[in-house]
Amino acid sequence: METKLSYEMNNKLNLAFKQMKKEKIYAVRDLECCQTCGGAEIVGRATDDGNPKGFIGYCFYHAQDAEMLDKTGEVYLAYGTLIDCMIDKASKWLENQLSVITAKKIVEILQANGLEVVWDGDNGHRILVRNKT
């Protein structure tokens, strides 16, 4: 059964993404066609010649996720840190820890905006977002 993204869910996501930017997380909705292209694009947008534009991390979903959101009311968010832009060849451990910190902040913002969040704390898993029912 195909549903349309609810006005309420759309407003909650808009508010959450605006708040993420205030918290120094570069956040973009419906970015590029897929995870690979979105991941390559967001780092370019959030940095200037490899230097972060004041952002500590990023969050986005891509066009395929947007289609799922429109059909199901759920969306997976990709996230990460911009530490590798700040420190050449940053250790993978440090990068993972900072990505988890970024994800926790994203989860906090989403929940504060009335959205249901499913995430297991694993940096290798995206964040699932639903409208609270």
Q: Is the pLDDT of residue 1 over 60?
A: no
Tens-digit pLDDT profile for residues 81-132: 887 655 654 577 788 888 999 999 999 999 999 999 999 999 899 999 998 8
pLDDT of residue 2: 40
Tens-digit pLDDT profile for residues 35-69: 999 998 998 888 887 677 888 899 999 999 999 99
| pLDDT band (50, 70, 90) for residue 5 | low
pTM, to two decimals: 0.81
Check if the beta carbon of residue 53 is closer than 8 Å to that of residue 47.
yes
